[in-house]
Chain A
């Protein structure tokens, strides 16, 4: 990574970390509150605008934070240049895809 990229990575990791503190507290509180909910109760909960927005924000910020963390781990432990590049691309696509799937699911529950 170039110096400019490294600074951006460092900063992005910290900003997403700080954002995740309230989001994670909301998520755990919600999960504990939702224990034992049936399908109707769960979808009704996720259809509330604030919950849908919080879930989409958590998924976006969380998977981005995971992408940044996984990138550092790969850069530390995978020394083969091609393998490293390939693994970095796969990871990025994987987490990006995962967040898209989650967002579409939330939107379908909340809007359809």
Chain B
């Protein structure tokens, strides 16, 4: 067993005594959506395997994708994708040395949230009605 105090990596904040802020919530959401996307990509794997197998397997996938659970998973996947995309771009700006003061970090955070909602909803409107 390794003693955490001997570890050279910095510790995550102790959540029980840590007041949630928009910046920290977006940060952990970036991780959570990353995990969701990694798991959700298995739906793409299923689709590709099914299409490589034949019409029967393809239709089984499509029936699942069109079911309430499938739709819910796809909605979660699209939301996670857009959040991770927008917030990832925010991270890339930070890496280049921009938007680093608190006001800019918050403003960019709100733009990420707004962008995620607009992109997710417009994608579903396009997919279902156009």
Contacts and interface: CB of A to CB of B under 8 A. Distances in A.
A69 B38 contact: yes
A39 B58 contact: yes
A80 B34 contact: no
Interface size class of A (residues with CB under 8 A): 35 or more
A24 interface: yes
Chain B interface SS verdict (over half): helix
Interface hub of B54, B88, B91 (most chain A Cβ within 10 A): B88
Given A28-B123, A70-B38, A75-B9, A105 B4 contact: no
B51 A35 contact: no
Interface in A74-105: 75-76, 79-81, 95, 98, 101-102, 104-105
Interface of B: 1-2, 4, 7, 9, 12, 31, 34-35, 37-38, 41-42, 44-45, 48-49, 51-52, 54-55, 58-59, 78, 81, 85, 88-89, 91-92, 95, 123, 126-128
